[in-house]
Structure 1
């Protein structure tokens, strides 16, 4: 059965590094996937938005996604905004789409924008009778999730793995699309955001569960309506 899927990302490329293979799998099985990128990706090093958005559109197209939304909020400043300013646009898109599956950042990420997006998403998916969300997951992002504080209460402990053996190359090609812009966050190996490390991460998560390649998630909520 076709599902309506919303992937929420703080920055351009988070969606690809975090769960590009899973996005491609959703698309291949006929699900309706929307990617919502909350910030403009402009940092102290980069001051132009257009190349980042163009790269995001290209990367998402490689993954098969046609519906990409840009929030254009200021990068690395989401924690300075009232939380309601993040909750409202996320809630609006969830309700517009009738999203059944939502993916968001992990609460323990080193990046403050990621943590803000998690907090806002958690409010936006409150399990009221009007909320369409049946499943919600956090994904990990290289150079943020594993660089978070080493405390048990904020550790990323996967509960859910998606095999991406068939879509790993799509994920790597999407990551390479970001490398084509001078504003790219793609780095040389052995940086976690290198193309080589991205492949290794997928292999590692695959080895965790006995498959060639996988992506890992933490389940926030699953509402089971049929058993």
Structure 2
């Protein structure tokens, strides 16, 4: 298939889509298990075009609705003789806020104003904003973004950002086609994986009004060349249906931490930073026993703490998802320590350990994966095994959990069946606890 298309082309007639939708009888989207809808748009109007009716429906069902608009949309009329990019930016932000107020009064609208047409160059900013918007509510959140195969680079980047955000937050991620209704065909559309949202008359009326609110896109800016209407009638017809369609999104390969280790041999300055040196001293000082038989360190990074732990144990196993980190760690640790690449919590050592160390790793998991990892820890502990937790307290950028949340969830899960906190430390920067069945030895 040709990746390029023009909105001036006739495209697939809307009547063909409507006939196909009637014949397919797609499964219905169920909003009942959800409490939040987060809609991400690459440009101001994508959300209205793709899922404006669903936004209205979610608001009517008392879901919390948040809209995140990633780019400023200032490149919609690059040859306009009457409107500068800055003027278009202001107009389009006003339009999207007005449109969302028509669809879901009181909904939150966040505009990042990233460069239109260059979203892929600002992927981290987009991920951070979406993760921050979802927060800790991922399991009860439906996250919608432009479909990753919509044949627009900004739509693809928005989908990628949301795929990463859903991985980090446990949000349910689906995509909404926008331009596919124009360039695709009934025969090539992936109906087998699609779900639909039927729209009430009120949903449709609100969507029609919201579409009209994007005046700069559905009407000419002026009669001058370069100010022509961006969305011609044959395109807009696709968004006047009584149903909206959603599709699965490509899962994300979240390699941020591996990329960080690949670009920097010591990304957290663990060898030179006083914070890191003091933190390791706190960890080693909190350990109740002088010596352990078998220690597991999850998220060992470049192996500095791993090497310290090896001085207090017969055997240490370090695991990390970053191949770059593991390569660096292997050159540092002594003979009684081994280091392995493992994608936790999906992969896990088969051994049992009398100490598991979880130092500054918890917030790099989604809440669900953190709970799954803690379950793995419980299963691999010996009867007298201990768990050491140590985390930085400020909010990490790009992930939903901070140190307080990480420790709260861990203690709730680990402190049962006879285990309790046997040692603890905290200051303005870090919190550390040891969970175990026995008190500290004198």
TM above 0.5, yes or no, is: yes
Give the corresponding residue for 1:110. Answer: 151
CA contact (8 A) 2:36 2:65 kept: yes
> In the superposition, relative to structure 1, how do residues 89 and 70 fare at CA in structure 2: closer, same or farther (>3 Å)?
same
Give the superposition deviation at 1:146.
3.5
Q: How does 1:71-220 map to 2 (within 5 A)?
A: 71-79=112-120, 81=121, 83-95=123-135, 100-126=141-167, 131-133=169-171, 135-141=172-178, 144-146=179-181, 156-157=190-191, 158-166=193-201, 167-179=203-215, 182=221, 187-190=231-234, 192-193=235-236, 196-199=237-240, 202=241, 213-220=242-249
The C-alpha deviation readout for 1:26-60, integer Å capped at 9, x for no partner, is 00011100010000010024512111111111100
CA distance in 1, matches of 2:57, 2:228: 25
CA contact (8 A) 1:38 1:72 kept: yes
Unaligned segments of structure 2, at least 5 residues:
1-31, 222-226, 251-367, 369-442
Give the corresponding residue for 1:62. Answer: 102
Give the corresponding residue for 2:342. Answer: none
Is the partner of 2:247 in helix, strand or coil? strand
Of 76, 88, 92 in structure 2, the residue corresponding to residue 52 of structure 1 is: 92
CA distance in 2, matches of 1:69, 1:97: 17
CA contact (8 A) 1:57 1:68 kept: yes
CA contact (8 A) 1:178 1:184 kept: no
After TM superposition, the structure 1 stretch with the greater mean CA deviation from structure 2, 180-189 or 37-46, is 180-189
Determine which structure has greater relative contact order: mean sequence separation of CA pairs < 8 Å that are 6+ residues apart, divided by chain length. 1
CA distance in 1, matches of 2:190, 2:136: 30
Give the corresponding residue for 1:38. Answer: 70
Query: TM-score, normalized by length of structure 2?
Result: 0.41
Of 19, 25, 29 in structure 1, the residue corresponding to residue 61 of structure 2 is: 29
Give the superposition deviation at 1:179.
1.9
Q: Report how many aligned residue pairs link the two structures.
A: 198
Unaligned segments of structure 1, at least 5 residues:
203-212
CA contact (8 A) 1:3 1:31 kept: yes
CA distance in 2, matches of 1:56, 1:26: 18
CA distance in 2, matches of 1:17, 1:104: 12
> In the superposition, relative to structure 1, how do residues 185 and 145 fare at CA in structure 2: closer, same or farther (>3 Å)?
farther
Give the superposition deviation at 1:189.
2.1
CA contact (8 A) 1:110 1:147 kept: no
> In the superposition, relative to structure 1, how do residues 95 and 63 fare at CA in structure 2: closer, same or farther (>3 Å)?
same
Give the superposition deviation at 1:85.
3.1
> In the superposition, relative to structure 1, how do residues 92 and 146 fare at CA in structure 2: closer, same or farther (>3 Å)?
same
Give the superposition deviation at 1:149.
7.6
CA contact (8 A) 1:179 1:185 kept: no
Give the corresponding residue for 1:10. Answer: 42
